[in-house]
Amino acid sequence: MSPTPPPSLPAQNVELQTVSRLNPGCMFIVVMGVSGTGKSTLGNALAKELNMPYVEGDDLHPRANVEKMSAGIPLTDEDREPWLELIRTTAEHYAVEQQVEKEGNETDTQDENAKKVGGKGVVISCSALKKYYRDILRGRRKPASLEKSPEEQTVPSHLEPSHPDILPTYFVFINGPRKILLDRMQKRPGHFMKASMLDSQLRTLESPEDEEGVVVVELTQTTEEQVRVAKEGLSKLSGVDFRS
Ligand SMILES: Nc1ncnc2c1ncn2[C@@H]1O[C@H](COP(=O)(O)OP(=O)(O)O)[C@@H](O)[C@H]1O
Ligand SMILES: O=C(O)[C@H](O)[C@@H](O)[C@H](O)[C@H](O)COP(=O)(O)O
């Protein structure tokens, strides 16, 4: 799990509002599931396949959250809200950066990147256990603990994570039985998330299977199979052809 620093803030002259219009097909892909499902493994592989950057969501947790989880204490909604908001904002920063790069390359007809499959958007791993958390990641909902009165809202609108239609969000949900998860977590040495936390994660999980924009892959599949199913599902949902 190598740290992935979020990109620097977007260039002032690019409004997030313009990203989906000028860079169609740009998307935010969340690889989700409880601890130990293989989010980091699949996230890395999928991002490589789609020529997108990958960000390890665990690296965006505030230190206090990591300390809490390391001590075997499950996080609360309030603990997770700023983290979820940061994940959404990070995805939006990537989208804006890619827009800036695209504009820089516009005149370069030989640009090799333009010929690659995908390449527009970002893949981030995140447990995303509840629907309400996923709505924050979709940019549809502001975390309750971060709600401000209109007078207090000094953040420029393009930095606020409230643009669901500007950066479409899709989830790849890794689903599978507790027994295998427990086994994998027990065999994973040195990770701050101990196997004893698994049951709390499973209790908190609200399955996303009936929600829009969700592809389900099985825990028991190989990473290669998961990538294939994810690509097919994402192509169908988004209309972007990742299969070629
Ligand atoms: N498709 C898979 N098949 C078998 N083992 C896997 C698969 N994906 C991941 N693993 C293993 O499961 C463990 C947890 O994977 P990891 O990617 O760290 O999960 P998460 O990020 O969800 O906690 C690791 O030891 C990893 O090598
Ligand atoms: O929402 C949470 O309680 C945590 O974010 C948790 O779900 C997450 O999964 C941890 O970061 C563990 O790390 P792994 O997911 O890498 O096991």
Cβ contact 171:164 at 8 Å: no
Centroid of chain to Cα 117: 19
Determine the average pLDDT of the residues in 217-240.
96
Please, what is the average pLDDT of the chain? 82
* 30, 39, 41, 186, best to mutate for ligand 1 pocket (most atoms within 8 Å of CB): 41
Point out the ligand nearest to the CA of residue 37: 1
* 184, 197, 224, best to mutate for ligand 1 pocket (most atoms within 8 Å of CB): 184
- Asked if the model's pLDDT at residue 149 lies above 60, the reply is no
Alpha carbon distance 29, 52 (integer Å): 10
What residues have CB less than 8 Å from 35, skipping those under 6 apart? Answer: 127, 181, 185, 193, 197, 198, 201
- Asked if the model's pLDDT at residue 10 lies above 50, the reply is no
- Note the residue count of the chain: 244
- Asked if the model's pLDDT at residue 147 lies above 70, the reply is no
Cα dihedral across residues 63, 147, 138, 176: positive or negative: positive
- Per-residue confidence (pLDDT) for residue 16, from 0 to 100: 53
Alpha carbon distance 145, 82 (integer Å): 8
Higher pLDDT, 165 or 108: 165
- Per-residue confidence (pLDDT) for residue 1, from 0 to 100: 45
Determine the average pLDDT of the residues in 98-107.
70
201 within ligand 1 shell (Cβ under 6 A): no
Q: Per residue in 108-120, pLDDT tens?
A: 544 454 445 567 8
- Per-residue confidence (pLDDT) for residue 17, from 0 to 100: 54
Q: Domain segments of the chain: what residues?
A: 23-105+114-144+168-238
Q: Does domain 23-105+114-144+168-238 have CATH number 3.40.50.300?
A: yes
Structure tokens at 179: 């027994």
Q: Per residue in 27-66, pLDDT tens?
A: 999 999 999 899 999 999 999 999 999 999 999 999 999 9
Higher pLDDT, 222 or 97: 222
3-state secondary structure string across the chain: CCCCCCCCCCCCCCCHHHHHHHCCCCEEEEEECCCCCCHHHHHHHHHHHCCCCEECHHHHCCHHHHHHHHCCCCCCHHHHHHHHHHHHHHHHHHHHHHHHHHHHHCCCCCCHHHHCCCCCEEEEECCCCCHHHHHHHCCCCCCHHHCCCHHHCCCCHHHCCCCCCCCCEEEEEEECCHHHHHHHHHCCCCCCCCHHHHHHHHHHCCCCCCCCCEEEEECCCCHHHHHHHHHHHHHHHHCCCCCC
Query: What's the gap in Å between 235 CA and the centre of ligand 2?
Result: 27
Determine the average pLDDT of the residues in 210-221.
96
Cβ contact 233:52 at 8 Å: no
Cβ contact 24:117 at 8 Å: no
What ipTM goes with this model? 0.92
158 within ligand 2 shell (Cβ under 6 A): no
Determine the average pLDDT of the residues in 223-230.
98
CA-nearest residue for atom 5, ligand 2, is: 127
- Per-residue confidence (pLDDT) for residue 104, from 0 to 100: 67
175 within ligand 1 shell (Cβ under 6 A): no
Query: What's the gap in Å between 43 CA and the centre of ligand 2?
Result: 14
Least-confidence region, from 95-99, 127-131, 163-167, 182-186: 163-167
